[in-house]
């Protein structure tokens, strides 16, 4: 079966942390492809976005255009209502029964997944891939993975990668404060943000 990774998120904006995690998962797991899947209305980020869906897609396109095994899926942007991973995976598996999906998350997300909507469906329809930043965290992740395997019969793989602590919220704040974001994200994305004057709103609106 074809092995496809999924990188979900708001990507507001996409940055090197996202790209580094996706590339490490691709290499370590021998994936055929990684889909960057921007979400429309994630329930944990209920405030309206300051930029359009198309602008987020544009930035992802610029960030991945030179990587032949990265691509974009707009499946969540095309649905109305809240965006839930369980619903997305159900639709993907229905349309692509010959693909094995690997849902790529940071360590923080793995610790929260049992509280997601219909976590049993998520664990049933994909293999969850979580990244560890150091030995101490790997031990905690292994304990959490063991719990989720027992509780939900989850398929979980842990990968190791160096720490890249970049947050989209920090990038938005730095842009609003007219500070450099060089080396936080690809130059083409930085140029797009500048050209379109994104994230120039008041700081309190960017939280």
Task: Report if residue 135 sits inside a domain.
Answer: yes
Q: Is 185 helix (H, G, I), strand (E, B) or coil?
A: strand
Count how many domains the chain has. Answer: 1
Omega before residue 48 within 30° of 0, cis? no
Half-sphere exposure of 5 (CA within 13 A, CB side): 26
**Domain assignment of residue 144, given as a range:** 2-163
| 205 phi/psi in degrees, rounded to 5 | -80, -15
Backbone torsions φ then ψ of 160, nearest 5 degrees? -105, 140
pLDDT digits (tens, 9 = 90+) for 20-32: 999 999 999 999 9
Within a domain: residue 26? yes
Q: How many C-beta atoms lie closer than 10 Å to residue 111's C-beta?
A: 15
Output 204 or 61, whichever has higher pLDDT. Answer: 61
64 in a domain, yes or no?
yes
pLDDT at 206 over 60: no
Look up the CATH number of the domain holding residue 37: 3.40.50.620
Strands in 52-190 per DSSP E: 70-72, 99-105, 127-132, 155-160
Q: Answer yes or no: is 141 within a domain.
A: yes
pLDDT tens-digit map of 143-169: 999 999 999 999 999 998 887 889 999
CA distance 49 to 47: 6
Strands lying side by side in the sheet with 155-160: 70-72, 33-38, 2-9, 99-105, 127-132, 155-160
Residue 203 has pLDDT above 50, yes or no: no
Domain assignment present for residue 38? The answer is yes
pLDDT of amino acid 15: 97
Three-class secondary structure of residue 105 per DSSP: strand
- As a whole number of angstroms, the distance between CA 178 and CA 147 comes to 45
- Tracing tokens 């021998």 back to the chain, one arrives at 30
Task: Let me know if residue 54 belongs to a domain.
Answer: yes
Yes or no: say if 109 and 130 are a contact pair by the CB < 8 Å rule. yes
pLDDT at 192: 97
What gap in Å lies between CA 4 and CA 26, rounded to an integer? 9
Q: What's residue 45's pLDDT? A: 60
Inside any domain, residue 71? yes
Residue 182 lies in a domain: no
């Amino acid at each position: 079966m074809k092995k496809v990774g999924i990188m979900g998120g708001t990507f507001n904006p996409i940055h090197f942390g996202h790209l580094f995690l996706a590339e490490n998962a691709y290499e370590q797991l021998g994936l055929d492809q990684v889909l960057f899947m921007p979400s429309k209305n994630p329930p944990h980020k209920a405030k309206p976005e300051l930029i359009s869906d198309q602008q987020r897609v544009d930035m992802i396109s610029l960030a991945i255009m030179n990587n032949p095994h990265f691509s974009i899926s707009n499946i969540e942007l095309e649905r109305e209502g809240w965006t839930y991973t369980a619903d997305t995976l159900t639709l993907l598996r229905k349309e692509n029964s010959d693909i094995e999906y690997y849902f790529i998350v940071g360590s923080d997300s793995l610790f929260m997944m049992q509280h997601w909507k219909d976590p049993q469906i998520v664990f049933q329809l994909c293999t969850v891939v979580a990244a560890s930043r150091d030995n101490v965290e790997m031990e905690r992740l292994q304990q959490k993975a063991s719990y989720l395997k027992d509780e939900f019969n989850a398929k979980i793989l842990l990968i190791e990668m160096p720490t890249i602590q970049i947050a989209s919220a920090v990038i938005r704040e730095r842009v609003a404060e007219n500070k450099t974001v060089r080396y936080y994200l690809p130059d083409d994305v930085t140029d797009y943000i500048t050209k379109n004057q994104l994230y120039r709103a008041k700081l309190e609106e960017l939280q």
